[in-house]
Amino acid sequence: MPKDEEINCASFGSLKSNLFVFSLLSSRILFIAVVLLTLLYFFPNPQNRKINPIIINNPKIIAIIFITFILETTKEVFSVFGSNVLDMTVPIKILLVVKDFNLPFERLDTWVTEAIKVSDSTKQLLNKNNLSISRSRVKNLIENQHLKVDGNTVNNPSFKIQNCEIVEIQLPKLSEAIPLPENIKLNILYEDEFIIVINKNSGIVVHPAPGSPNGTLVNALLYHCGENLKGIGGVRRPGIVHRLDKNTSGVMVIAKTELAHSNLSKIFFNHDLDRRYNAVVWGQPINLGIIEKPIGRSPLNRKKMAVVDKGKIAITKWKVLDIFTPFASLIECKLETGRTHQIRVHMSYLGHGIIGDDLYGKPISQKNFKNSHLKEKNKLIKSFNRQALHASKLCFHHPISDKYLEFSSPLPRDISVLIEQLKV
Question: Rounded to whole angstroms, what are the CA distances from 237 to 143, 171, 350, 370?
Answer: 21, 16, 39, 55
Inter-residue contact 234 to 137 (CB < 8 Å):
yes
CA nearest neighbour of 381 among 410, 350, 353: 353
CA nearest neighbour of 120 among 17, 233, 6: 6
Identity of the amino acid at 402: D
Q: CB atoms < 10 A from the CB of 274, how many?
A: 12
**Residue 196, helix vs strand vs coil:** strand
Inter-residue contact 285 to 329 (CB < 8 Å):
yes
Is 245 noted as a catalytic residue in this protein?
yes
Taking the alpha carbons of 99, 103, 106, 110 in that order, is the dihedral positive or negative? negative
DSSP symbols for 258-272: HHHHHHHHHHHHTT-
Strands (E), 37-174: 92-97, 147-149, 152-153, 166-171
Q: Which of 4, 245, 309, 414 is catalytic?
A: 245
Inter-residue contact 240 to 206 (CB < 8 Å):
yes
Give catalytic residue positions. 245
